[in-house]
Amino acid sequence: MFLIVGLGNPERKYEGTRHNVGFEAIDVISKKYGIEVNQKEQKGLVGKGMINGYKVILVKPQTYMNLSGECVAPLADYYDVDPETELVVISDDVSLSTGNIRVRKKGSAGGHNGLKNIIALLGSNVFPRIRVGVGECTDGDMVSHVLGRYDAEDRERVDASMEKVLGAVELFLAGELDAAMNKYNVKEKLD
């Protein structure tokens, strides 16, 4: 059983914002594999199904970004998921250019409050994550940046990045995280 978690904020007003790129990734995956994400479980919306022969649970935490761990940690515990090998978290990253992705096996939260809360409640930073670039905050107002929407050009870049995210998830499920890192990681400065 694998948990594939996309981070975001619930409520319609956050749809299409930079912070909700994880939710968008879950929507793309659910559409491709016909997995409806509509069951309420452990403070999240979940959908259970199969991807390339692997049992998966797609997850959209409904706790708001900063409390994402309140959904992820109980689900990992309930389904006896090993975070190192059976959990992947998809989130936005302001350190990456819009539309680029970065796959990592573990690491710090990099200033991302959703990841910070997951790390705190799992008690470990050793879990795979796929970070989707949403561009750097240039005016110093990080909240407005991550809760803001893309211009048309950046929207196209993010939409195009979803194929890379999907490919990285498929490689993760096959136990080929190194291959995903080699194929999709860009050479950009990170934390």
Catalytic residue numbers read 19
- SS3 call for 71: helix
| Distance between CA atoms of residues 89 and 130, nearest Å | 6
CA distances from 180 to 23, 121, 123, 153, 163 (A): 20, 26, 25, 26, 12
Would you say 14 is a known binding-site residue?
yes
Would you say 100 is a known binding-site residue?
no
| Distance between CA atoms of residues 134 and 126, nearest Å | 23
Would you say 20 is a known binding-site residue?
no
| Distance between CA atoms of residues 57 and 75, nearest Å | 10
- SS3 call for 44: strand
Would you say 38 is a known binding-site residue?
no
Amino acid at 133: G
Q: Which residues are annotated as a binding site for tRNA?
A: 14, 64, 66, 113
